[in-house]
Structures are given as C-alpha cells and as structure tokens.
C-alpha cells in the first residue's frame, strides 16, 4: 500500500472514531433514537467483539507481547499470558478510576477538578492506544475486522459520553472533547513515527483497550441497570456475533 493510501485510510478511521465525541450527545437526544437502547446496543457490540475476536487474537499473540516487553526466555508461562496481563491492566486502571470518582462523590456534591482531570487523562490514554492500534492496522490496509472493531468502538463512545455527562455534568464540555480528540491525533502520530513497530507492542495496546472496554461496559450496563436495555444489549451482541461468524466462515483458509 502506498504512503498516500495509508494516510487516507488512517484519516478515515480518525474521523470515524472522533466524530462520536462531538455527536454522541446529539445522537442520544434524537427523538427517534432511544438513548438507553442505543447505548445498550453499542455496549453489546463492543463486548461481542472483545470476546469473539480480540481475546482470541490476544491468546495467539502472547509470545509477541512477551518479546516486546523484554520478558526473558525462561519466563515462558509469563510470556504466554503477557497479552492478558495488559488486558487486566486496562481493566484495573479504569476500575480504580471509577472507585476514585464514586468515593469522592460520596463525600461531596460534585467531583473535584482533580478527579475530573484524572478521569479525562485516563480516557485520553484509552483514545491514544485505540487510535494507535487502529492506525497501525489501517496503514497496512483495513480488513473487515478493522471496520467492525472501529464501528463497535464508535458505538462504545456513546456509553463513555453518557458516563462523563452524568459524573461531570458541570465540567465536561467541548474542551474536554477536544482533549480526547488530541489524544487520538497523538496516537495517529505515534503510529506514523513508529514505522514498522514490533507487533507485540501493538497487541499490548489492543489488550489494554480490551480490558478497559470490558470495565466500561460492565460499569455502564450494571451500575446504570435502570437505564440499560437488556434486549438491545443482546441485539448488539447478536449483530456483531453474526457478522464476525460470517466473516470468519467466508475468509479463505491460509
């Protein structure tokens, strides 16, 4: 693929992933788009992709991640689970941040500026790693899986946006969204400057993103149970599951 084509695809995915940050609030308030059902559908789509594609891919990339993280040959068992350690790290980081926000909410009427900035910084890291991974994949020619992943993450931003507005209603505005966009641009730039990076680093980034996605979905669908729609969550899961199975069945055997 030529450099111009690679950049074109990377910019296409940047727009696809950045647009929800600025449109999520409007989409969730459209009269013909029920907010709870839309968010639950996006959550189901993200969960299905993580369980049926991302985690199996991580299982096959443990050695690569272990090499990238400079784990010695003697630590074979550790190398095999290195990718899942990255996913666990993503889960724990966002779980810790959620506990921080809830603990502070129990002591005051509104989260402090520091808690808000910490939360914004964590999701900026999420955006950076997400865009880094997607840009690297798009730079080599996007596959159907890349499109499905990007689409699921774009829907996932509906859940992230609602979480920000509910927890930081007085602080989260367009400036916060531009910070999240800047993180995406940073991820795109890093992917470009890194060149032919060791595949293990790319898989490590994907693992961290997968762990954080699972935490965000579990938090949103369970903690906000009265605002979630289980039928639409199942529809999201079923839609992406059917699509992934179809693509897998039609993919040529190597």
pLDDT band for position 224 (50/70/90)? low
Tell me the per-residue pLDDT of 212-221, one tens digit each, with 9 for 90 and over. 988 888 876 6
Looking at residue 111, what is its pLDDT? 65
Looking at residue 217, what is its pLDDT? 82
Looking at residue 76, what is its pLDDT? 53
pLDDT band for position 73 (50/70/90)? low
pLDDT band for position 107 (50/70/90)? low
Average pLDDT estimate for 134-148: 85
Looking at residue 181, what is its pLDDT? 92
Tell me the per-residue pLDDT of 28-64, one tens digit each, with 9 for 90 and over. 777 776 777 888 888 889 899 999 988 888 888 767 7
Buried b (16+ CB within 10 A) or exposed e, 203-230: bbbbbbbbbbbbbbbebbbeebeeebbe
pLDDT at 75 > cutoff 60: no
Break the chain into its structural domains and give their ranges.
Answer: 3-250
Buried b (16+ CB within 10 A) or exposed e, 139-156: beebeebbbbbbbbbbbb
Q: What is the mean pLDDT of the chain?
A: 81
Looking at residue 133, what is its pLDDT? 86
Average pLDDT estimate for 100-116: 72
pLDDT band for position 103 (50/70/90)? confident
**Residue 43 to residue 29: CA distance in whole angstroms:** 18
Tell me the per-residue pLDDT of 144-195, one tens digit each, with 9 for 90 and over. 888 988 888 888 888 788 778 877 877 787 788 899 999 999 999 988 887 6
The set of long-range contacts for 71-74, using a CB threshold of 8 Å and a minimum separation of 24, is none
pLDDT band for position 119 (50/70/90)? confident
Of residues 234 and 139, the one with the higher pLDDT is 234
Listed ranges 76-80, 114-118, 210-214; the one with the highest mean pLDDT: 210-214
The answer to whether the CB of 222 falls within 8 A of the CB of 165 is: no
């Amino acid at each position: 693929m030529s450099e111009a084509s690679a950049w074109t695809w990377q910019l296409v995915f940047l727009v696809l992933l950045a647009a929800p940050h600025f449109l999520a609030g409007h989409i969730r308030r459209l009269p013909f788009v029920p907010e709870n059902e839309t968010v639950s559908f996006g959550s189901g789509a993200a969960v299905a992709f993580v369980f049926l594609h991302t985690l199996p891919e991580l299982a096959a990339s443990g050695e690569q991640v272990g090499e990238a993280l400079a784990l010695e040959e003697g630590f074979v068992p550790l190398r095999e689970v290195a990718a899942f350690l990255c996913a666990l790290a993503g889960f724990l980081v966002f779980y810790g941040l959620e506990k921080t926000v809830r603990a502070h909410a129990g002591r005051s009427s509104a989260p402090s500026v520091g808690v808000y900035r910490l939360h914004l910084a964590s999701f900026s890291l999420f955006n950076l790693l997400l865009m880094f991974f997607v840009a690297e994949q798009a730079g080599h020619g996007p596959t159907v899986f890349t499109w499905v992943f990007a689409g699921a993450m774009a829907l996932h931003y509906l859940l992230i946006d609602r979480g920000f507005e509910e927890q930081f209603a007085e602080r989260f505005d367009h400036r916060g969204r531009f910070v999240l966009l800047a993180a995406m641009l940073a991820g795109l730039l890093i992917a470009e400057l890194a060149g032919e990076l060791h595949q293990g680093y790319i898989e490590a980034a994907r693992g961290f993103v997968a762990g954080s996605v699972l935490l965000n979905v579990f938090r949103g669908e369970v903690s906000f149970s009265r605002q979630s729609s289980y039928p639409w969550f199942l529809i999201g899961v079923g839609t992406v599951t059917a699509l992934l199975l179809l693509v897998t069945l039609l993919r040529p055997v190597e």
